[in-house]
Amino acid sequence: MYVNKTNIKVRYVETDQMGIVHHSNYYAWFEVGRTEFIKDSGMSYSEIEAEKIMIPVVESGCKYIEGAKYEDELIIETYIDKLSPAKAIFSYNVIREKDNKILAKGNTTHAFVDSETFRVINLRKKKPDVWEKLLELYSPEEETLLTE
């Protein structure tokens, strides 16, 4: 399984009065990690959108273990947890670099949709080249492609 590691330094604007990162920022960091993960496939989000494909978030979740603080240097680990021709589930670990502690774990589920009709598509059939690039980065120990 391929795991992208993206480095982020917590900015003051991302914290609350206690100096702890506001929970909403984790989702922005997930997007940063996912964008870098997609780039590592040899594509960019804008190139995928130029193919008339959008990848909206249809579900998300995050377990907060310990709050990140101002100026913490973080690693956002991103990987595809599950993949089907209709959707992808990305998972994330937010890790404090200095002690390698996992501060949060999250996931986002994305549907593959036609940008003109906004209907779910079978990515493997409609855009096999895009499908293959994602599939190359998804290689779980056990082959468990989603069947939906």
CATH of the domain at 71: 3.10.129.10
Phi, psi dihedrals of residue 14, rounded to the nearest 5°? -85, -5
Average pLDDT, the chain: 93
Catalytic hit among 16, 99, 114, 129 = 16
pLDDT digits (tens, 9 = 90+) for 81-91: 999 999 999 99
pLDDT digits (tens, 9 = 90+) for 117-128: 999 999 999 999
Contacts for 116 with CB less than 8 Å, ≥ 6 apart: 52
- The number of folded domains in the chain is 1
In a domain, 147, yes or no: no
88-103 burial: b if 16+ Cβ within 10 Å, else e: bbbbbbbbbeeeeeeb
Give pTM, 2 decimals: 0.91
| pLDDT for residue 56 is more than 80 | yes
In a domain, 20, yes or no: yes
Residue 71 CB: number of other CB atoms within 10 A? 11
Cα–Cα distance measured from residue 140 to residue 138, given in angstroms and rounded to the nearest whole number: 6
In a domain, 143, yes or no: no
Q: Is 3 helix (H, G, I), strand (E, B) or coil?
A: coil
In a domain, 13, yes or no: yes
| Cα atoms in the Cβ-side hemisphere of radius 13 Å centred on 27 | 10
In a domain, 130, yes or no: yes
Asked about 16 being catalytic, the answer comes back as yes
Number of H helices, E strands in the chain: 4, 7
In a domain, 61, yes or no: yes
- Domain around 12: 4-137
Q: Is 49 helix (H, G, I), strand (E, B) or coil?
A: helix
| pLDDT for residue 140 is more than 70 | no
10, with CB counted inside 10 A (0-12, 13-18, 19+), is: buried
Looking at residue 22, the DSSP 8-state letter turns out to be: P
In a domain, 67, yes or no: yes
Q: Is 127 helix (H, G, I), strand (E, B) or coil?
A: coil
Residues 99 and 83 sit within 8 Å (Cβ to Cβ): no
Give the model's pLDDT for residue 64: 97
In a domain, 103, yes or no: yes
